[in-house]
Structure 1
């Protein structure tokens, strides 16, 4: 049966008399993830989290709709990694402007980017779009930022690490190479300390930072950890979808 909260699966018979409060757009990337994970890792994670979170919200009565995942993200620092596909931020802005125009015209006034790729940086784009669509509530979530504080994983990282390997072992284990093929995920730090401390930033040229395209040791990853973390993220995201759906965006802030 088609799920009524997944746009790609539902149909005009259902949609012609339907209305939604919140549209969710998963946005990932197509890029190398160490030696052992698929190029579609971010797409698989984002799509799965969006769909399960929407199911949770739908079953609580929230009118949410998940749009098809955008599979390409900002990979400007990986231009020499074979077939790492790049969309420039200006292209992302143009795509979002067109999509939000549709939602705004059709009366869906709440919109979330469910971001699944660390290279996508949405704040400036959302600020500019907010001026163009003043009646729209626009927001972004980064589910992967829940990983290091979840208590599930032993070794922190940020790309094809213990967290991502565990998730893909849970979601699509047939796409994960055997453990003997996993790279160590060692990251070479910038010699200028300020960039490693986080208060200064420059883009990381990926092929100079990591040998295997991973950042973070995946060796402790397990399917069980992936399932635990997936359920944790989806429960939290599902509640957020409910909260956004039922909240009056014109009365969003607490009174003093």
Structure 2
């Protein structure tokens, strides 16, 4: 199987023993509705698949061995989402506990580099990572949101931000069997009435049921597998470079330029 030894969800202990790993990749998503045409685990599936592609490229081009963990499916939800059938809200404390246990396990096993590939906009890891850097000073953690690595407008005609043209296109590329575009809602949504919130002078969570009727934000009608492939491949290329750079940096000091400020 192509990705055995890279994708832990299909790897055996025997596959793992063959390799010395430079870093661990942790996809993180959510369990939530994605309009009427995408799976609840869309955020998990896409962050995982992009990460596996990138790990394969990093191995082939740069000789870097990465292990992609199974995706974490517990995401933080907005008001109005938790009431939707089978939408699971994970508190900050829950997510931090999961990440803490993962880091502690990897640290015990002699691994000290982790990159989180986030697929859910409601998740926020920065403070968790700061706390963990105090507990494990020799353990390096980076976080990236895969869908924000490159400008969506350069790849899609009308990207939104949930179950939209972007997510639908990438899912059509990786898993066309999981997408039925004929069933999709239009993804119409109501923006904030307060101008300062629209301009992002301040932030507050949106009440999802008051914002969207089908849980989507952004119309997926223009989605195609070709668009998804182009975007996903470009993201995987960027991540492969990141993985190689992260793997070849030996300690935290090496992350900073060795130059005296003028």
1:113 pairs with 2:116: yes
Paired residues of 1:76 and 1:88 also in contact (CA < 8 A): no
TM-superposed deviation, 1:188? 0.8
Q: Which residue of 2 aligns with 1:22?
A: 23
Counterpart position of 1:67: 69
Partner of 1:202: 204
State the superposition RMSD in angstroms.
1.6
Q: List per-residue Cα deviations over 1:202-221 (Å, max 9, x = no partner).
A: 11111011111011121211
Take 1:128 and 1:33, find their aligned partners in 2: how far apart are those partners? 32
- Cα distance per residue 1:95-135 (max 9 Å; x no partner): 11111011112211111111111111111111111111111
Q: In structure 1, what is the equivalent of residue 33 of structure 2?
A: 32
Q: CA separation of 1:15/1:227 partners in 2, compared to 1, >3 Å: closer, same or farther?
A: closer
State how far apart, in whole Å, the 2-side matches of 1:32 and 1:8 are.
23
| Mean Cα deviation higher: 72-81 or 102-111 | 72-81
Matches for 1:45-84 after TM superposition, within 5 Å: 45-59=46-60, 60-77=62-79, 78-84=81-87
Give the counterpart of 2:195 among 181, 193, 203: 193
Deviation, structure 1 residue 172: 1.2
Unaligned runs of 5+ in 2: none
SS of alignment partner, residue 8 of structure 2: coil
Runs of 4+ in 1 over 6 A off after TM superposition: none
Q: Measure, in 1, the Cα distance between the counterparts of 2:83 and 2:15.
A: 45
1:161 maps to: 164
Residues 185, 216 of structure 1: 8 Å contact kept: yes
State the shift of 1:178 in Å.
Answer: 3.7
Distance change in 2, residues 1:123/1:113 (3 Å) = same
Please name the residue that 2:231 is paired with.
229
Give the match's secondary structure for 2:25.
strand
Match of 1:90 in 2: 93
The structural deviation recorded for 1:76 is 4.1
Q: Quick one: which of 209, 214, 217 aligns to 2:216?
A: 214
Q: Distance in 2 between matches of 1:105 and 1:241?
A: 22
Equivalent residues, number: 255
Per the TM alignment, residue 10 of structure 1 is displaced from its structure 2 partner at its CA by 2.6
Give the gaps of 5 or more residues in structure 1: none
**Deviation readout 1:66-114 (Å, 9 max, x if unpaired):** 1111122112431111111121111010011111011112211111111
SS in 2 for 1:190: coil
Q: Check the 8 A contact 1:147/1:163 in 2, yes or no.
A: no
